[in-house]
């Protein structure tokens, strides 16, 4: 672009300050319900923190029988060695009982999350502890399983797959947010330094951004123009150059 006319971008969703729409809510399928969750592409290391040997074996058997995917279950009966194992790295998901002999309630979850660096956690709760399970979600757990349901291999496997898929999608969304933020910063840097006037207009003809050169051309501060109709005819999209009546 050259000269003084501002460049007008009618379609500019990638430059819009809005972030991508939120992902639709994912719900763990009920027992026996078909699931569209894709097979995970590589072995998943699961850290299981459970003092009860029988319940630990149920989880190991369920994940060991999963079709189409390999789960490497590493079992710890106490919280302290489990935290040490977590710090070592290489863990993809944590399953933790909230009724350990040395730590009960939300404490196991809080202590593990302090060392988990974003690793998804599923908590195990008793039959009468649904309220505790709900509170665990507020503290950052991805899901909770009631221990009287551990005999259902399909429910255990489906819950773990659901959590891993949700974790993957949230990571993908976060990467998209970071990329968009970087794109916006680059655009604003180039626009501020550009000697030509640049105006960003959305599809409804409303001004979304002006660089300093455009402000000078219109003899207005950007805060007075942003959110207002542009007032000039726009084409079918792309870049438009026009002379501003002086």
* Cα distance between residue 203 and residue 208, in whole Å: 10
pLDDT of residue 108: 94
pLDDT per residue of the chain (246 residues) written in tens, 0 to 9: 333 333 333 322 223 333 334 433 434 444 443 333 444 557 889 999 999 999 999 999 999 888 878 899 999 999 999 999 999 999 999 999 999 999 999 999 999 999 877 899 999 998 888 899 999 999 989 999 999 889 888 899 989 988 988 888 888 888 888 888 887 777 777 767 776 777 888 878 888 887 777 777 777 666 677 887 877 766 665 666 666 555
pLDDT of residue 222: 61
pLDDT of residue 214: 78
pLDDT of residue 4: 37
197: buried, middle or exposed (CB in 10 Å: 19+, 13-18, 0-12)?
buried
pLDDT of residue 11: 28
pLDDT of residue 246: 55
Q: How many residues does the chain have?
A: 246
pLDDT of residue 208: 81
The dihedrals phi and psi of 105, each to the nearest 5 degrees, come to 70, -145
Query: Two tokens at 215?
Result: 């402000």
3-state secondary structure 131-183: HHHHHHHHCCCCEEEEHHHCCCHHHHHHHHHHHHHHHHHHHHHHHHHHHHHHH
The dihedrals phi and psi of 7, each to the nearest 5 degrees, come to -90, 130
Decide if 50 contacts 75 (C-beta within 8 A).
yes
Question: Whose CA is closest to 12, among 200, 185, 241, 213?
Answer: 200
Q: pTM for the full model?
A: 0.61
pLDDT of residue 174: 80
Query: Two tokens at 244?
Result: 């501003």
Query: Two tokens at 63?
Result: 């994940």
Query: Two tokens at 241?
Result: 């150059």
For residue 159, is it left (φ>0), alpha (ψ between -120 and 50) or beta? Answer: alpha
């Amino acid at each position: 672009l050259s000269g003084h006319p501002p460049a007008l971008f009618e379609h500019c969703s990638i430059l819009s300050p809005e972030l991508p729409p939120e992902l639709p809510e994912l719900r763990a399928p009920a027992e026996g319900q078909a699931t569209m969750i894709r097979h995970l592409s590589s072995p998943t290391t699961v850290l299981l923190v459970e003092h009860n040997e029988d319940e630990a074996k149920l989880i190991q058997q369920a994940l060991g029988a999963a079709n189409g995917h390999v789960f490497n279950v590493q079992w710890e009966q106490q919280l302290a060695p489990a935290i040490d194992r977590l710090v070592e790295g290489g863990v993809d998901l944590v399953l933790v009982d909230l009724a350990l002999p040395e730590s009960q309630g939300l404490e196991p979850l809080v202590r593990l999350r302090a060392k988990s660096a974003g690793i998804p956690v599923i908590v195990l709760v008793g039959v009468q502890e649904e309220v505790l399970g709900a509170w665990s979600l507020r503290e950052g757990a991805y899901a909770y399983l009631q221990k009287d349901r551990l005999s259902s291999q399909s429910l255990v496997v489906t819950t773990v797959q659901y959590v891993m898929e949700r974790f993957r999608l949230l990571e993908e969304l976060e990467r998209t947010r970071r990329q968009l933020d970087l794109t916006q910063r680059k655009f604003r840097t180039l626009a501020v330094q550009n000697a030509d006037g640049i105006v960003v207009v959305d599809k409804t003809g409303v001004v979304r951004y002006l660089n300093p050169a455009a402000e000078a051309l219109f003899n207005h501060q950007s805060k007075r123009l942003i959110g207002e109709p542009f007032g000039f005819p726009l084409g079918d999209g792309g870049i438009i150059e026009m002379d501003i009546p002086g």
